[in-house]
Amino acid sequence: MGLLQVPFEVHVPAVEEEVVPGEAPEQVPQRLSRIKAAHVAQSVETAVIVAADTIVVDQGEILGKPRDSDHACEMLRRLRGAEHRVLSGVTVMDAATGRCLTALCETQVWMRAMSDAEIAAYVDSGDPLDKAAAYAIQNPTFAPVTRVVGCPTNVMGLPMCHVVRDLRRLGVTLPPTLPTRCKIQTDYRCALTGYVLSGLSAA
């Protein structure tokens, strides 16, 4: 959010991040992001709210945050050397008017073939225990990802192009060079920048 160069506050909504039986993976983060935005809107009057939820999907199964260290190791062993999907739902809401925009961003991620010892050391660091599928793409020591197709900041939990597009649709003034700074910050080439931001004039 600091890349946006606008004032912001962080609010943590007390929302249960549960999956509804029969719900498609693509629906889960969008629904939860709307619930989070609506929850925060109850406590503010004039703010523009950005709420997000991110899940990891491997072979059709949703992987949430690990229950404990053993579960984190299990997840990482499952994902290593293979591809999975990261889905984020982002809701931007004008608390004053109630206008709400929700978008879905999907990224394909390939993990490196990490060893059991590397996984154990990473889990012992505590870093993966509060993250979907037990990893952080931005961790410089563990560096779990070898390839990304799509938005890299989506894997971190907040697809910036989608945020920029929808904030501008709601009338928020933002610097024009954010996508360039986003690429520099993440060190990944984002294939979605032009495609997503080309839809700025859409309602």
Q: What is the pTM of this model?
A: 0.84
Residue with the bigger pLDDT between 17 and 198: it is 17
Looking at domain 24-197, its CATH architecture is: Alpha-Beta Complex (3.90)
Residues 6+ apart with CB under 8 A from 55: 25, 28, 29, 62, 63, 64, 86, 87, 88, 132
Query: What amino acid is encoded at 103 in this protein?
Result: A
| Confidence (pLDDT) at 45 | 85
Buried b or exposed e, range 97-127, using 16+ CB within 10 angstroms: eeebbbbbbbbebebeebeeebbeebbeeeb
In tens, the pLDDT along 154-163 reads 888 888 888 9
Give the residue from 129, 114, 39 showing the smallest Cα distance to 78: 114
Is residue 151 a contact partner of residue 192, using CB atoms and an 8 Å limit?
yes
CA distance 188 to 21: 35
In tens, the pLDDT along 11-32 reads 998 888 888 888 999 999 999 9
Sign for the CA dihedral angle at 9, 195, 56, 82 comes to negative
Question: What does the pLDDT average to over 55-78?
Answer: 94
Given 53, 94, 127, 187, the catalytic residue: 53
Torsion of the alpha carbons at 183, 187, 189 and 192, rounded to the nearest 10? -50
The DSSP bridge partners found for residue 106 are 87
Domain ranges of the chain: 24-197
In tens, the pLDDT along 85-142 reads 999 999 999 999 999 999 999 999 999 999 999 999 999 999 999 898 999 988 889 9
Annotated catalytic residue 53: yes
